[in-house]
Amino acid sequence: MITSSRGWVSFCSVAVLALAVSSPGRAQSSGSHSASHGSHGSSKAAGAADPTHAVHEAMSGEMSANPHIRMSPRRVATAADSARAERMVVNARAALAKYKDVRVAEREGYRAFAPNVKQDVYHYTKLGAAIREHFRLDVAQPSSLLYREDADGSMQLVGAMYTAPKEAKWDQLDARVPLGIARWHLHTNMFVPPFSQRERWLEFDGGLPVFGPASPIATREACDRVDGRFLPVVFNWMVHVNMFEPDVWGDHH
């Protein structure tokens, strides 16, 4: 599994960036709000900082060491695990090959998540598939298809993201994708602004975003001190299967 990449950006972090950059005209107001909240604001708030760069920098390195990520435990793979995972990959390659043409994915209801935010890997997500996956995993109908954008702007299919309920136990995750082969991840301990203060997404402190997956704030107590909302869990358990790349079980976020 890839635990260090050139600034891995998670599905969750892209959601934060989409909110942060969707209204550039509001950047100045976030600066004035920061000043009124004392030390948690910074001269790098608003347009003075690049939130995309900051998230890349803050979220590089070991996923298991990130306070906003919970990883499934490592297990020693058995022969049965390996055989089951190989069958999954073979079946997924056959079922998803048609989506190498991104237009086919779009016709079937997959939509790019935050397409205007530059990403290492783009998630094309289908709501119906995500809902079905709460109950069962079907390799032919993943929650998301993963694409990498080439220099010419074309989209190359990397693989798929499968999900499981956030309440799932280890053995339930293992039944879907063996824990001896892959590690599932869950986005946790997220700090976000109050609903009425969306402009605060652009606040920075010490070069890092105050809110979101790159924030150093990861406890309810710290969140309360700077007037934010604490989310113990965001989204469901996720695992990536890169069946169209050599590193099938590497984790692209």
Structure tokens at 62: 């070991």
Q: Report the alpha-carbon distance of residue 190 to residue 69 in Å, rounded.
A: 9
Tens of pLDDT, residues 159-172: 999 999 999 999 99
Tens of pLDDT, residues 94-123: 999 999 999 999 999 999 988 887 888 899
Give 242's pLDDT tier (boundaries 50, 70, 90).
Answer: very high
Question: What residues contact residue 30 under an 8 Å CB cut-off, 6+ apart?
Answer: 45, 46, 199, 200, 201, 202, 203
Structure tokens at 237: 């358990």
Whether residue 81 contacts residue 180, with contact meaning beta carbons closer than 8 Å, is answered with yes
Q: What angle do CA 144, 127, 235 make, to 5 degrees?
A: 70
Q: Full-prediction pTM beyond 0.85?
A: no
What percent of the chain clears pLDDT 90, i.e. is strictly above it? 39
Residue 35: Cβ within 10 Å count: 12
Under DSSP, the state recorded for 22 is S
Could you tell me which residue, 236 or 3, shows the higher pLDDT? 236
Q: Return the top range by mean pLDDT from 63-77, 113-127, 182-196.
A: 113-127
Q: Tokens 């989310």 — which residue?
A: 231
